[in-house]
């Protein structure tokens, strides 16, 4: 690949900004005062986020998958579709896609430097934008310049105070609520739900995949207070998994009073992905009520064409290598349940490569994982200040199940160790962090 000095200069300028994705502690409540000013900046720039429709997606888990699934359906329906997501696995350009294609480096540099010049005076009288605020600003501007018709925008953290929450969407989606970032969003599921439900805006219908009563009631209360229709998984629509075999694609039925599609297929694994897909379909039904044309064939093609990197992703066979970005207790529980369905080799050894962040529920995740895997290699993503030391993870694990594994702090060496331990019929699973998932994917691609 030909070096692009302008792109590297643009990335260097961006990376010089505060990046809360690398912080162990985030001044979350301070973001509230920035949101109004950020809205004013967008208006100063001509409100690029108002030049196309938006679907805004929040949730503890599943929001990235739901965004990709919805993006593919809308693209297959013939619309020019943007998607803004975070974090990225390998390249910053993954955060900005149009019709499923990542932004070109040269175009990124051109637009970012133009924005840099246009916001210089504003920043001198207000504040310097953070890394995430700048990427959000870039996404809105990029989609406007490229004549996107509808954009799927993923919340970065929480919802109420997230910089993406300046948008005025056509539909909002809350995928799920579980314990994550409790030090920022609150100690209870209701607290977390209220933060996520901060994306609910008057007049904008909401799709919810939240199943636990405590957070579901919190979302219902906010939706009712803002007078918006709420479509809930399990009440207004549902997904029903069809019989799944080992290594078979996801097959499920989408059921609602007005629409029943049986069966639907997608080349991904897991009942949770059927729920995510059903959220995307429910969102398209709300868009159809607003005049968008999204036929059944577009839904089917979108689901069949989707690829979900680092989400129960099969990387190779013999041994079976799966990379997954699960990083909270519920996510790893769903990962284990998915593996139980699809990996049925009774003779195979199940080896886990696990690395996580300091601010995650590592005890809860490991309680789930030690019960399923035969051996765990504890490691940590390279160069990440938030990474939990491998030794600490090991000590947590052996408090639940002695003699369950070993520590290999270097991720590349840890993966090499896993491959030496695994036979052709065995399973190697990598999970605990998107950062670890990205590093192992890069190693495999060399």
What are 80-132's pLDDT values in tens digits?
A: 999 999 989 999 999 999 999 999 999 999 999 999 999 999 999 999 999 99
Domain boundary among 261, 276, 305: 305
Task: Give the other-Cβ count within 10 Å of 14's Cβ.
Answer: 18
CA atoms within a 13 Å half-sphere pointing along the CA-CB vector of 301: 11
Q: How far is CA 238 from the centre of its chain?
A: 21
Instruction: Say if residues 59 and 158 touch (Cβ distance below 8 Å).
Output: no
Whether residues 424 and 356 fall in one domain:
yes
State the Cα angle at 405 between 23 and 339, rounded to 5°.
Answer: 80
Whether residues 285 and 426 fall in one domain:
no
Overall average pLDDT of the 221-231 stretch: 97
Which pLDDT belongs to residue 239?
Answer: 96
Whether residues 215 and 240 fall in one domain:
yes
Spatial distance between the Cα atoms of 417 and 390, rounded to a whole number of angstroms: 15
Which pLDDT belongs to residue 181?
Answer: 76
Whether residues 235 and 343 fall in one domain:
no
Domain count across the chain: 2
Phi, psi at 196, each rounded to 5°: -65, -40
- Among 196, 154, 166, 167, smallest CA distance to 179 is for 196
Whether residues 151 and 263 fall in one domain:
yes
Whether residues 287 and 370 fall in one domain:
no
Q: Is 166 exposed, middle or buried (0-12, 13-18, 19+ CB in 10 A)?
A: buried
Q: What is the pLDDT of residues 421-434, one digit of tens each?
A: 999 999 999 999 99
| pTM assigned to the model | 0.91
State which residues form the domain around 415: 313-445
Instruction: Say if residues 71 and 85 touch (Cβ distance below 8 Å).
Output: no
Whether residues 340 and 300 fall in one domain:
no
Overall average pLDDT of the 235-249 stretch: 83
Whether residues 89 and 18 fall in one domain:
yes
The structure tokens listed for 183 are 């030090």
Whether residues 66 and 185 fall in one domain:
yes
Whether residues 142 and 211 fall in one domain:
yes
Question: Could you tell me the CATH number of the domain that includes residue 403?
Answer: 3.90.190.20
Whether residues 97 and 187 fall in one domain:
yes
Which pLDDT belongs to residue 24?
Answer: 60
Q: How far apart are the first and last CA of the chain?
A: 15
Domain boundary among 250, 281, 305: 305
Whether residues 242 and 264 fall in one domain:
yes
């Amino acid at each position: 690949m030909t070096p692009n000095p302008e792109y590297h200069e643009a990335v260097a300028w961006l990376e010089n900004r505060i990046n809360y994705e690398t912080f162990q502690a985030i001044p979350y409540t301070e973001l509230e005062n920035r949101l109004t000013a950020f809205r004013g900046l967008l208006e100063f720039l001509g409100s690029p986020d108002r030049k196309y429709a938006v679907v805004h997606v929040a949730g503890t888990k599943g929001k990235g998958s739901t965004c990709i699934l919805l993006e593919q359906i809308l693209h297959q329906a013939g619309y020019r579709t943007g998607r803004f997501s975070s974090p990225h696995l390998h390249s910053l350009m993954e955060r900005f896609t149009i019709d499923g294609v990542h932004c070109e480096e040269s175009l990124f540099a051109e637009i970012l430097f133009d924005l840099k010049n246009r916001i210089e005076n504003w920043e001198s009288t207000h504040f310097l934008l953070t890394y995430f605020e700048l990427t959000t600003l870039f996404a809105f501007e990029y989609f406007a310049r490229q004549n996107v018709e509808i954009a799927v925008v993923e919340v970065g953290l929480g919802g109420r105070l997230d910089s993406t929450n300046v948008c005025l969407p056509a539909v909002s989606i809350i995928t799920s609520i579980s314990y994550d970032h409790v030090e920022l969003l609150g100690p209870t599921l209701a607290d977390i739900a209220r933060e996520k439900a901060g994306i609910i805006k008057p007049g904008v219908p909401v799709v919810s995949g939240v199943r636990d009563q405590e957070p579901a009631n919190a979302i219902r209360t906010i939706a009712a207070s803002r007078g918006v229709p709420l479509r809930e998984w399990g009440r207004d629509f549902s997904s029903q998994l069809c019989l799944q075999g080992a290594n078979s694609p996801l097959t499920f039925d989408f059921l609602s009073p007005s629409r029943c599609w049986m069966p639907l297929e997608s080349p991904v694994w897991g009942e949770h992905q059927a729920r995510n897909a059903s959220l995307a379909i429910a969102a398209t039904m709300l868009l159809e009520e607003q005049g968008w044309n999204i036929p059944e064939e577009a839904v089917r093609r979108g689901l069949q064409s989707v690829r979900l990197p680092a989400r129960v992703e099969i990387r190779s066979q013999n041994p079976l290598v799966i990379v997954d970005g699960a990083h909270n207790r519920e996510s790893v529980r769903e990962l284990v349940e998915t593996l139980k369905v699809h990996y049925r080799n009774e003779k195979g050894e199940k080896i886990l490569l696990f690395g996580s962040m300091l601010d995650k529920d590592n005890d809860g995740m490991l309680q789930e994982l030690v019960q399923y895997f035969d051996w765990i290699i504890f490691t940590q993503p390279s160069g990440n200040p938030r990474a939990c030391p491998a030794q600490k993870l090991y000590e947590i694990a052996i408090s639940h199940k002695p003699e369950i594994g070993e520590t290999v702090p270097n991720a590349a060496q840890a993966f090499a160790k896993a491959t030496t331990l695994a036979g052709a019929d065995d399973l190697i699973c990598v999970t605990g962090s998107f950062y670890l998932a990205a590093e192992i994917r890069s190693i495999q691609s060399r």
